[in-house]
A = this chain, B = another copy of it.
Amino acid sequence: MDLEAIAEISRLKYRYARALDTKSWPEFADTLLPEATATYAEHLRFDSRDAFVSFLQDTLGPHVITEHHCGHPEIDVHGDTATGIWYLSDTVVVPGDQMMMRGAAFYQDRYAKDAAGRWKIAHTTYERTYESVYSLADMPSFRLTSNRWALIGSPQYGVPGVAP
């Protein structure tokens, strides 16, 4: 096994998830090749990095908390390309809609080196084992005791996640 390449690709995936869940869109975009494609369901297909990032940036604003944990890497390296299976466990909370989502899926990614020799995501897709949603109205005691984006839009603070 090419342990060095596997370690580099794993870090790429971790940076991808961290940037996604902290809404750090330039850092997120940097994990993808410009021509990267992504498929999440029949109606969610993206033919370029820009289309994919724009969609996520528009959809996952500060009103949405996302949590994507990726584990169980099964990465095969073939020279300058590689494939990876990952086990996703994800949670989404939309406080304003009282919506909670929990699910799991297996990612099937392809990776390739860019011109500078750095590993990037060339294609990402996943197949869910399950996805569940419920309303926080069923749990009247539920409250967020911390929310990195809670202060966005409040008049006195301009910087997300920074307390006074």
List residues of A whose CB falls within 8 A of some B CB: 1, 3-4, 6-8, 11, 13-15, 17-18, 21-22, 42, 65, 67, 69-74, 85, 87, 89, 91, 93, 101, 103-104, 106, 127-135, 137-148, 161, 163
Contact = CB atoms under 8 A, between A and B. Distances in A.
Contact of A22 (B11, B17, B129): B129
A125 to B, nearest CB: 14
A37 to B, nearest CB: 20
Q: How many of these chains are in the complex? A: 3
Contacts of A87: 14, 17-18, 21, 69
Contacts of A21: 87, 104, 129
B71 A71 contact: yes
Contact of A141 (B15, B22, B104, B134): B134
Nearest to A143: B133
Contact of A146 (B91, B131, B138, B140): B131
16 contacts: A1-B7, A15-B74, A18-B72, A67-B104, A69-B72, A69-B87, A69-B89, A127-B148, A130-B146, A133-B142, A133-B145, A134-B143, A135-B141, A138-B139, A138-B141, A138-B142
Nearest to A145: B131
A105 to B, nearest CB: 8
A143 to B, nearest CB: 6
A11 B71 CA distance: 11
Contact of A130 (B1, B14, B93, B163): B93
